[in-house]
Structure 1
Amino acid sequence: MSLDPSTIGRFKVLGTLGAGAMGTVYLAEDPLLKRTLAIKVVREGTGDAEVLLRFKREAEISARLNHPNAITIFDVGEAPELGPYLVMEYVEGESLSSLISRGPMSPDEVAGLLIQAADALAAVHGLGVLHRDIKPENMLVAKDGRLKLMDFGIALGDHGRLTATSTFLGTPAYAAPEVLNGARATPASDRWAFTLMAFEMLTGQLPFAAESVGATLYRIVHEAPAWPSDLTPDLAAVFGKALDKDPGKRFPDLPTFLRALIEALPLEPDRRAAHLAQLASAAPVRATTTLRLGRLHKASGGRNPWLWGGGALVVVLGLWFLALRSEPSRILSIESKPSGAEVFLDGTSLGRTPLRQVVVKGKADALRLEKSDYLPLEHRLKAEDKGLVLQLQAAPFSVRVASDPPGAAISLDGEPRGKTPAVIEIPGEGSHQLRLHLEGYQPWVGVPERHKALPDPIRLQKPKGKKGEGKLRKFFKGMFQ
């Protein structure tokens, strides 16, 4: 008999998405908004107070983050018979760890996903928050190629810590050496885990893997990373710098690391250029600001509180106005029919279609597709655009029409086009009939094709008499002689 609940809070349970040692994730529906959701419930005995605190912390960070590459948390609560639960966005796809389990991923796919993950992590750090558990299991990849960072349950910010005894939280295999040595976690330790995840995506293994957790931790702290035999020297140099034991000797930020990584990856020139352009288009994500008016008022001394309140109101309205002006980034997939069109966003090349992971920043909206033999296509991005399939229109082409003898009347699809010799324009779409007519000669009919010249000249033929016509004329001529 199933023990799965039929409802959790106001949400209707539709099924089970997954279950593990820590709990279960259910597929559910919000009956009010008719929205499909995922609900995480921990198993009994995990410690409801601590779990609820983590869930609330995760919901708080999600609300402040509001990033297209981060899972959105909609609600948090407690159910009488289940305990704490977390209601989040449902993403149809699979975890990054599941993709890695099938073997090393292609460099092109790795670059696209890492740019998205780096953008999300930079936004988290922009809030003054450390994720502390960056790993493939905490990255979801949707079917359309969008990546979602999740699980902020052990994130640490500038407002305190989860418990006084939580000296180390996270996954040991992705822990930075300085954290294992007792130092406080920093953005550099999140970047260390990000680097290990990138390495695992490309190679299918971790550079400090050992037979036990203890041996793995020892290697992280004391030994150099182990490279696969087929890792190129350029990639080894990039990962060697990113995995230096000294945080000060590593890449200073994720864009710098990714730029070096993309340059070292075996990519086609157009794909390398597209990834670098996408990386360069990333804009810093500003932290959500909270005004602590009580503390500000106390520091104002004898100032008139009404005047001070008005000043604070102006500041709040100013921040609200800036928040409205800021445009959140989003993820697009762009296809064209036919494929292979070069895509430009506000004049910057993104590569050739199909593109599955395009990060659109700020107010960028001018999309242009170019492909040889087709008319350029321009498209203004709309807020609702997510998966674009754009139809290209074949460009017209020209053909030279010459005949022997010259002076033949030219018609295209029944419309006159002058006389030979001439150069005429053929519409790009469909097939078209070209006809030459000259008195005393048989008409010539053909179908012009792009990149295929017509005979030069087209030799017109005189009409031939019907079979037996000459003998019959001679017979009658002889009768009257």
Structure 2
Amino acid sequence: MLLAERYRTSEILGHGGMGEVYRGCDELLGRPVAVKLLRPDLTDPFAAARFQREARAAAMVRDPHVVAVYDFGHSNGEYYLVMELLEGRSVAHELALHGPLPVDRAVDIVRQVARGLAAAHRHHIVHRDIKPDNLLIDVDGSVKIADFGIAHSPGGSITPASSGLILGTSLYLAPERALGHPATPATDVYALGCVLYQLLTGRPPFEGENPTVVLSQHVQASPAVPEEVPVPVADLIRRMLAKEPAERPTTDEVASWIFFDPRNATTAELPPPPLRRNRRAVFLALAALLAVLAAVTIGVLTAQNPGTPPAPTDVAPSHAPRPSASPSRVVTTPTATRTTTRTPPATSARPTAKTRPPATSQPATKQPPGKHKPKPGKTDKR
């Protein structure tokens, strides 16, 4: 089929409640596309308006985790919506093939969806139908939100709510929606929590023989999270499935949530802690620091004890000035007591015998032998 003399459809890729999706080609731009056609057998009088609203809502959100919308129109009696073509499969198909997913993969899918929902919520758009069938996985593993057919967007004046119908899928419907209250961004968070539960267990949190029973459980029952689910993830599920919308995290908080399971580091979202990751580098840095401290300590000790001078050939008087521990020396002359600081040559590593003060460097006035200078305050009785 050729639509608007531009889009040619071929094989069918899938179908939903409102329409069928075909593989197509934009012959004007020469690129592959996905073309969604509104089902002609629909008796819903709001179907065309909802289809157009889906196109407008999806076109408002530009995010890597939302399927891009290229065009919308009416041709040959058909309403069509031209979108980005993804070669992968839906999350529902992934669950059907492999069953429950590993924790890291389930958390990764939910975080990607939360990023797309956060972008939609910034435009005041509530998806209202988050479920595995509307989450598409591309060939590179990225996840994108599709089907904004029942999304609530600003200026959406036409809505089937006036007919008394509750929009959405009962398995993922928030309690406030089951009670007939308006949808909010917290409504999408609840549905995404149901998806996370199903990704980990293979089944939705609430099931029953008919939608009424399921809706009643959403309102009254608490989900039973299996024990094999890691505690941090189980806590996140309970928060996302809180009965009160105000108690649920925002999509930004879910998108930035970090999970690390110490029981199995291979399924962690984060790399090991920095100390564990750079243990070799830390040890090398500590060794280098110890080497520097040792070198500084040896240098200080060497400066304080430059060496032991050779033993003198004669014994200097006890009252003669002793050589200073520093490289400089003090010389006393007979005529006046004067301190002179002399710096020895750089090549003199140790003091020699010549550096000792001369034996004649004594005070000019000497006491006679056997005579002692009387101490102050005492008299000589001799």
- TM bin, normalised by shorter chain, reads 0.5 to 0.7
Contact 2:193/2:240 (8 A) holds in 1: yes
Structure with the higher strand share, 1 or 2: 1
- How far apart, CA to CA, are the structure 1 residues paired with 2:53 and 2:203? 32
**Residues 1:217 and 1:51: Cα distance change in structure 2 (over 3 Å):** same
Residue 71 of structure 1, CA deviation: 0.8
Task: Give 2:203's aligned amino acid.
Answer: Q
Alignment deviations for residues 83-142 of structure 1 (CA, whole Å, 9 cap, x no partner): 211111110000011112230111222222222211110000000111111111111001
Residue 264 of structure 1, CA deviation: 5.7
Alignment of 1:82-97 (within 5 A): 83-97=78-92
Residue 60 of structure 1, CA deviation: 1.6
- How far apart, CA to CA, are the structure 2 residues paired with 1:244 and 1:149? 23
Q: Does residue 1:217 correspond to 2:208, yes or no?
A: no
Alignment of 1:65-464 (within 5 A): 65-81=61-77, 83-101=78-96, 102-163=98-159, 165=162, 168-251=166-249, 253-257=250-254, 262-263=259-260, 268=265, 271-273=268-270
**Residues 1:61 and 1:111: Cα distance change in structure 2 (over 3 Å):** same
Equivalence for 1:33? 29
Q: 1:244 is paired with a residue of what secondary structure?
A: coil
Alignment deviations for residues 248-302 of structure 1 (CA, whole Å, 9 cap, x no partner): 2222x134345667246865278432599xxxxxxxxxxxxxxxxxxxxxxxxxx
**Residues 1:60 and 1:19: Cα distance change in structure 2 (over 3 Å):** closer
Task: Give 1:91's aligned amino acid.
Answer: L
Q: Does residue 1:9 correspond to 2:4, yes or no?
A: yes
Alignment deviations for residues 15-58 of structure 1 (CA, whole Å, 9 cap, x no partner): 22234564421111111100111111132221486233222222
Task: Give 1:240's aligned amino acid.
Answer: R
- How far apart, CA to CA, are the structure 1 residues paired with 2:45 and 2:272? 44
- How far apart, CA to CA, are the structure 2 residues paired with 1:162 and 1:188? 22
**Residues 1:122 and 1:275: Cα distance change in structure 2 (over 3 Å):** farther
Q: What percent of counterpart residues are identical?
A: 34
- Computed over aligned residues only, the root mean square deviation of the Cα atoms, in angstroms, reads 2.9
Contact 1:51/1:84 (8 A) holds in 2: no
Task: Give 1:37's aligned amino acid.
Answer: V
Q: In structure 1, list runs of 5 or more residues that go unmatched.
A: 1-5, 277-348, 353-369, 373-481
Q: 1:76 is paired with a residue of what secondary structure?
A: strand
Q: 1:273 is paired with a residue of what secondary structure?
A: coil
Contact 2:14/2:21 (8 A) holds in 1: yes
- How far apart, CA to CA, are the structure 1 residues paired with 2:186 and 2:224? 21
- How far apart, CA to CA, are the structure 2 residues paired with 1:130 and 1:266? 37
The structure with the largest alpha-carbon Rg is: 2
Equivalence for 1:313? none
Contact 2:106/2:199 (8 A) holds in 1: yes
**Residues 1:176 and 1:21: Cα distance change in structure 2 (over 3 Å):** closer
Task: Give 1:46's aligned amino acid.
Answer: L
Contact 1:107/1:265 (8 A) holds in 2: no
Residue 158 of structure 1, CA deviation: 2.7
**Residues 1:26 and 1:215: Cα distance change in structure 2 (over 3 Å):** same
Q: In structure 2, list runs of 5 or more residues that go unmatched.
A: 281-382
Task: Give 1:103's aligned amino acid.
Answer: G
TM-score (norm 1): 0.52
- How far apart, CA to CA, are the structure 1 residues paired with 2:27 and 2:12? 18
Task: Give 1:104's aligned amino acid.
Answer: P
Contact 2:260/2:270 (8 A) holds in 1: no
